Structure 1
């Protein structure tokens, strides 16, 4: 099976961006291993900070390495996807809109994320574990398999002891590298030998908000009034990183610093870096240290990390000059938006997470959104009414697969969405259009018996609701969560007598013709033919006529608007055939004036 999937990936995915990146990563990894005389797995890496809800923008940090690693695995190569949980980062601010969190959490600002209490009512041990758990659940559902590395565990266990001591011993050299960039403006050109993919207009505009990303690219780089020190301690007295290093003794590894408390009080403390592990390297040094230690071959990053003088660019110098490693291949990825919202930021609160999306999207559909766009292209995840169009596009792609209409890129994108190198993702057996299911759910109040009866008329092959799951459950959640009350479908309880009495002769004749044939073919296809065909018949055209004069198209629009007003008291609504199916002929007839 693995060999077959490897051939499938080769045949179908030669031109897609995932395959091209995998080609580049494999070639560079092989070159590096041959030069070093090594034989070890290729390493793709991601980094996530559980400082709050991990949103759909952060998911791109994981999906790009996952897709590349998965492609490498399909080729039968040993590969590992690492996710570094930056849970030893400082708690920067209290995010808005998090249930169980109030202003009192501000007293924990400056502490490691794993030292901050979890939101009230959480079953998890601390803040970081609370938000990490939700992301892990979502990644499992998406088929993302990885090895997680807790930075709290690594630092506090002393695993990074040698790297920390090495960075402190080479602090003057690190300072010199950083100094090359301190006077550079953000608008300056990237250093020689680096490249940055062009952004589209949406991403370019979003880059102005880059500082609201992880914030790591804007961190203190270790400079103090008393010199340069790449290590930031967490104090004993207050537990925060409100500290300023005064001195460091290379022989004894004793670090002396001033810690500032919440009321401005100060204490002087010291620690030995060879045996005390309360603190971490500043981000611009920490990241390249990890590249060297883990042997990372591929790790993309956002715009905020790739501007001149920020983390990825500086890290490329430090990893080679200080830590003796190599910078990974690291394309820049653009921002992910949400329908009707600006670029997402977890600091704002209330932003959708992968778990939120998976409650209304099938996992393969969500994967597809990240597969079909190159990393440097921004895109929007639609959780509003546009989600119906996304499902339509996804279903259209599914129908293409196995036909001559499918292009290699289509086949590769679909294959990467529905399966990984090791498993198939669950798909709805009978993919009835999402918009039809949503309309049925809305009108029936998600009553399962009524919904099944109606869905059987939409697709005669549907025998039980399990045939339309998980899509049915996603539609129920979408209606309940994302459809405003004013947009819900409310079928009239009684006919609109005044509107019926005011009908023109043409409108009455159109309704009578529709009612005369209402139950000729009580199916979605039959009703579709009927409602589109009534204006054709009245114009003397056959119901299967495709080339319609403007007046017939106008008559169709007029009939649809009339039906919406008489059936649900609105000018718009779900597709008329679906609406008729959901209401049923017994209720439709009196509402259209024929009791």
Structure 2
């Protein structure tokens, strides 16, 4: 790591560097015993992972990479699955929901897999998450709550929970309603009768032996909490895990601020320390509701990657994590085009400026070669007017606009065409509705057709754009003309493309071809009567 780059990173306002500097302040002389600085992400496998889950690992990795720029200290990243939690409700987006309902309350790792592919529901969801992470090549260690409890990894801290039981209750009880206070216990024994994670009061019988007593089905039972026979309520569990593993960094959503504060206090009681971390805003669906695994109202990673490249997901996750953002299919095209805009700017930027460019953090400063000669938005406009187009046909049109346009020269464009065809088919074409031009729009389109007819083949997109602009400008302010230029461009989009918004028309006409564009104009004029 060069001294200049490190000095720039120490001053950079890019949020991954701001987060990484928290860890430098935490360990100004390095972590004791040269132990790795430990990053953690948490996941509750009560439903299928969504992009919000994936993005937490992605953002944490960005902070970890930024820390590597600032420090030579070793690091680890643990992706922790809370798969010992009880199944509280049946998700809406899974098969065999009736079967799952029969196992409510049992640890997720002991609930049968409704998909029939793994030994448990948790194992299925864990495998899905790991496939997400492996696809991106994340450097992480997967950890299972069930494995850690059952193997005894947490046993010593669980004994400490019993030793400090009253102190932990003093932290938790003020955060609960009166009726919940009467039955609350930070320790949840697993019923030897039903296998359900019980929400019952417990009595500490012998802290050193890990022994508690509780009532199960009217019978008083004494049982160990060690070796996977119990788990903790999730807030005490969070704090216990921070203390047991020595977690130094874990980000979380705005909805968990109070929970993290409680977890931090419990971690301190158990001899640990609350980790550093970013508090991020939540992803919302198109109705403004919080993304939920059980509702399945977000976008899965598979869905996003059907319509856009991997880098666009990372770009969307990077931007403004402290602001709430909508997460629905409509955000994909802009994410793709903005990613390429920032990537195109990177080479000409000074090293200091590059540290604030999102693509620097997406690729950890190692940008791949390649360029994108057309925008995704323009591709979508092209495929929408082409109708049932093939990839080969799209490449044929690209020859009008891009010199030497071949898949070998532009492999990333070749892959983007597949996504554009899919997105156009599923989300653009079904919404198109061309209207007939009226009033001044008719005369303006007739003039555009006449101007285009006089152009030689190969006229540049910029020259065509100037013609389009001049036509609208000449009509602007005249009696019976457009009220403003925006109305002219809106008329072009609505009458020729069937959409309310669209591309630079010069670029579209150059791409689609002058003759084909004149055919669109002719169809529009014919519809006007």
Is residue 281 of structure 1 aligned with residue 257 of structure 2?
no
CA contact (8 A) 1:90 1:110 kept: yes
Is residue 351 of structure 1 aligned with residue 298 of structure 2?
yes
Deviation at 1:93, TM superposition (A): 0.8
Equivalent-residue separation in structure 1 for 2:515 and 2:429 (angstroms): 28
Residue among 332, 343, 360 paired with 2:279 = 332
Residue among 440, 451, 454 paired with 1:517 = 454
Match of 2:382 in 1: 440
Deviation at 1:566, TM superposition (A): 5.7
CA contact (8 A) 2:157 2:240 kept: yes
TM-score, L = length of structure 2: 0.83
Secondary structure of the residue aligned to 2:192 is coil
CA contact (8 A) 1:135 1:355 kept: no
Is residue 63 of structure 1 aligned with residue 63 of structure 2?
no
Is residue 419 of structure 1 aligned with residue 376 of structure 2?
no
390-399 or 19-28: which moved more? Answer: 390-399
409-418 or 348-357: which moved more? Answer: 409-418
Deviation at 1:561, TM superposition (A): 5.6
Residue among 412, 418, 422 paired with 1:477 = 422
1:256–1:303 Cα change, 3 Å: same
1:474–1:299 Cα change, 3 Å: same
Deviation at 1:239, TM superposition (A): 1.7
Match of 1:158 in 2: 152
Is residue 148 of structure 1 aligned with residue 142 of structure 2?
yes
CA contact (8 A) 1:90 1:113 kept: yes
CA contact (8 A) 1:284 1:315 kept: yes
1:277–1:509 Cα change, 3 Å: closer
Match of 2:194 in 1: 238
Match of 2:241 in 1: 290
Match of 1:255 in 2: 212
1:268–1:426 Cα change, 3 Å: farther
Task: List aligned pairs for 1:555-594, cutoff 5 A.
Answer: 560=489, 563=492, 567=496, 576-577=505-506, 579-580=508-509, 584-593=513-522
1:570–1:407 Cα change, 3 Å: same
Deviation at 1:229, TM superposition (A): 4.5
1:252–1:401 Cα change, 3 Å: closer
Residue among 319, 334, 340 paired with 1:389 = 334
CA contact (8 A) 2:448 2:468 kept: no
Please give the per-residue CA displacement for 1:302-338, whole angstroms capped at 9, x wherever unaligned.
233223xxx32222222222x2122212342221224
Please give the per-residue CA displacement for 1:514-540, whole angstroms capped at 9, x wherever unaligned.
34235443554454344334446x67x
Structure 1, unmatched stretches of 5+, are: 185-218, 261-265, 540-547
Equivalent-residue separation in structure 2 for 1:420 and 1:571 (angstroms): 38
Task: List aligned pairs for 1:527-546, cutoff 5 A.
Answer: 527-535=464-472
CA contact (8 A) 2:20 2:67 kept: yes
Secondary structure of the residue aligned to 1:88 is coil
Q: How many residues align?
A: 517
Deviation at 1:49, TM superposition (A): 0.7
CA contact (8 A) 2:461 2:510 kept: yes
CA contact (8 A) 2:291 2:298 kept: yes
Please give the per-residue CA displacement for 1:142-171, whole angstroms capped at 9, x wherever unaligned.
453211111011112222222222212321
TM-score, L = length of structure 1: 0.75
CA contact (8 A) 1:26 1:42 kept: no
Deviation at 1:182, TM superposition (A): 5.0
Structure 1 vs Structure 2 CA RMSD: 3.7
Q: Which has the higher contact order (CA 8 A, sep 6+)?
A: 1
Equivalent-residue separation in structure 1 for 2:220 and 2:428 (angstroms): 56
Residue among 49, 52, 58 paired with 1:54 = 49
502-511 or 15-24: which moved more? Answer: 502-511
Secondary structure of the residue aligned to 1:83 is strand
